[in-house]
Structure 1
Amino acid sequence: MAQDKGYLLDNRQAEAGTRFDALAALFDASTFRHFEQVGVAEGWHCWEVGAGGPSVAAWLRERVGPGGRVLATDIDVSWTEAAATEGVEVLRHDVGRDEPPAGPFDLIHARLVLVHVTGRDAALRTLVQSLRPGGVLLVEDADPALQPLICPDEYGPEQELANRLRSGFRRLLRQRGADLAYGRRLPRLLREAGLAEVEADAYFPITSPACDVLEAATVRQVRDQLVAEGLATDEEIERHLASVEAGRLDLATSPMISAWGRRPVDDGSRS
């Protein structure tokens, strides 16, 4: 996933690979359903922004075929490089700071990216401008403020602790510039950016083994910051991880809001 300078979940940490695998297990099927819905086809040129792991780029490569192009970018490509096979180009790129790669593109997709980018408004404009006329932008971002509890069924002390730690995690994200209510704004933002045929939906896993894996990896990745900020003690974190790994919690994700739209063919572009 792309990251601003202060991005909390550093891709260079060992837990990042575990998180990417869990995110793929949770959300790839929904993402691929949206790709099918917007009509990704052979010969398309696609830009996967903040690719993180290789799974989405690999799916696009199979769909666009040898006549297409898939560009997978991230600020840290150490986990994305597994996708660098024939038909997939991997490029280090910061969507919040760098000039856009050569386009235009038939499809641009960003999942769990813009919510973390401080310059997200400018980044969104860059993505829209990188579309060919008629091209599709699909942006998928979580909205933690819409459903803030990782344990919606808060019936006991273990669930209360999990939700308190999640509250601390959200505080850390806000300190790093994340917009925790960004997902709900996506339909309006895509329309205001000039896209047409805008639609959106949401996906919300509430119990899954992948949710457990994601939570354990995330907490391990940010435990030092949680302790340093006084948001949790080491003992509380160990107790929570034990509950997660014992399978005693019904863990949810934040709602993943997917919004998509097309660049009008008559917008004056010469691309």
Structure 2
Amino acid sequence: MAEDHGYLLDNRQREAGERFAAIAELFDSWTTAHLDRLGLTAGQHCWEVGAGGPGIPSALAERVGPAGRVLATDLDVSWLTGPAAPEGVEVRRHDVTQDPLPAEQFDLVHARLLLVHLPDRAAVLERLATAVRPGGLLVIEDADPALQPLACPDESGPAQLLANRVRRAFRARLAERGADLAFGRTLPRLLRGAGLTEVAAEAFFPVTSPACRALEAATVRQLREQLTGPDLTAADLDLHLANLAGAELDVTTAPLITCWGRRG
């Protein structure tokens, strides 16, 4: 089947806000702990690439203070404007695959769950590395669905088996849209190839939580038409959503690989 490189999870849909909220609950504390540990401090200039929702831009602005600068960019900035706009953050529509890079260089360039969806992801990573000032940091966080492909690693019954069928269909749709399901593990090599030093990486793997169920449910609702087919009926998806509405189904996410490197 020919690949369709359009983004599968359209941020203009209502469920995108639910997904952003669940992703923030799952991963924001992990992300900010790494940025704090790596030395994010007052007065620094930061670029949040493919920001999506306001959580991380707001956290960056709190840390760099009025003497610093935070630029948040995305193809769709609707979740970064209006009443929910993060305070102290410059928001700009930007296509990182095509548009010129910002004129300045940054102390920190950060992207989370962005590059895995791009067909030219390695080239984009190299471009982002050039936006880091000497001594600054590039921090890339991306999923690796192939590293742990199941929604329910504990396949203890029909609900868990159904969840894994739905996850397989989701992964197939991602692959059709050009996502690299094994991208996360390649980040250390790619950062070194972009000329960065002091490269290191860690993985976060939430086994189960209410936020995991919320993220799964929002994703299924958003992609209902794309997931329905000969092997997965509308009734199957209704049952899966009903199972997610309870507290008994332990669903997880793909491991999130956090990788960082310093520009010499």
TM-score normalised to structure 2 length: 0.96
Give deviations 1:36-83, integer Å, cap 9, x for gaps. Answer: 111001111000011011010001101101111000011101112233
1:226 alignment counterpart: 227
Q: In structure 2, how many angstroms separate the alpha carbons of the residues matched to 1:53 and 1:36?
A: 20
Map 1:107-126; keep pairs closer than 5 Å: 107-126=108-127
CA drift at 1:231: 4.3
Q: In structure 2, how many angstroms separate the alpha carbons of the residues matched to 1:67 and 1:180?
A: 39
Alpha-carbon contact 2:23-2:215 (below 8 Å) kept: yes
Alpha-carbon contact 2:137-2:260 (below 8 Å) kept: yes
Alpha-carbon contact 1:22-1:213 (below 8 Å) kept: yes
2:95 alignment counterpart: 94
1:259 alignment counterpart: 259
Structure 1 portions without partners, runs of 5+ = 265-271
| Aligned amino acid, residue 22 of structure 2 | A
| Aligned amino acid, residue 201 of structure 2 | A
Structure 2 portions without partners, runs of 5+ = none
Alpha-carbon contact 1:96-1:118 (below 8 Å) kept: no
Q: In structure 1, how many angstroms separate the alpha carbons of the residues matched to 2:126 and 2:100?
A: 12
Give deviations 1:131-167, integer Å, cap 9, x for gaps. Answer: 1001100000010000000101011111001001100
Alpha-carbon contact 1:151-1:251 (below 8 Å) kept: yes
1:31 alignment counterpart: 31
SS at match of 2:135: strand
CA drift at 1:121: 1.5
1:168 alignment counterpart: 169
Does residue 137 (structure 1) correspond to residue 138 (structure 2)? The answer is yes
Q: In structure 2, how many angstroms separate the alpha carbons of the residues matched to 1:115 and 1:47?
A: 18
**Structure 1 segments (4+ residues) deviating >6 Å:** none
Q: What is the total number of aligned residue pairs between the two structures?
A: 259
**CA 67–179 in structure 1, closer or farther in 2 if over 3 Å, else same:** same
Map 1:29-68; keep pairs closer than 5 Å: 29-68=29-68
Task: Work out the percentage of aligned pairs sharing the same amino acid.
Answer: 61
Q: In structure 1, how many angstroms separate the alpha carbons of the residues matched to 2:120 and 2:192?
A: 19
Q: In structure 2, how many angstroms separate the alpha carbons of the residues matched to 1:167 and 1:231?
A: 10
SS at match of 1:127: helix
1:75 alignment counterpart: 75
Q: In structure 2, how many angstroms separate the alpha carbons of the residues matched to 1:84 and 1:165?
A: 35
| Aligned amino acid, residue 85 of structure 2 | A
Q: In structure 1, how many angstroms separate the alpha carbons of the residues matched to 2:22 and 2:86?
A: 21
Range with greater deviation from structure 2 (136-145 or 96-105): 96-105
Alpha-carbon contact 1:55-1:83 (below 8 Å) kept: no
Alpha-carbon contact 1:165-1:231 (below 8 Å) kept: no
CA drift at 1:96: 1.8
1:181 alignment counterpart: 182
Does residue 191 (structure 1) correspond to residue 192 (structure 2)? The answer is yes
| Aligned amino acid, residue 33 of structure 2 | R
Map 1:153-164; keep pairs closer than 5 Å: 153-164=154-165
Q: In structure 2, how many angstroms separate the alpha carbons of the residues matched to 1:247 and 1:230?
A: 29
1:206 alignment counterpart: 207
Q: In structure 2, how many angstroms separate the alpha carbons of the residues matched to 1:31 and 1:246?
A: 28
CA drift at 1:24: 0.2
2:21 alignment counterpart: 21
| Aligned amino acid, residue 194 of structure 1 | G
**CA 231–130 in structure 1, closer or farther in 2 if over 3 Å, else same:** farther
Q: In structure 1, how many angstroms separate the alpha carbons of the residues matched to 2:231 and 2:103?
A: 44
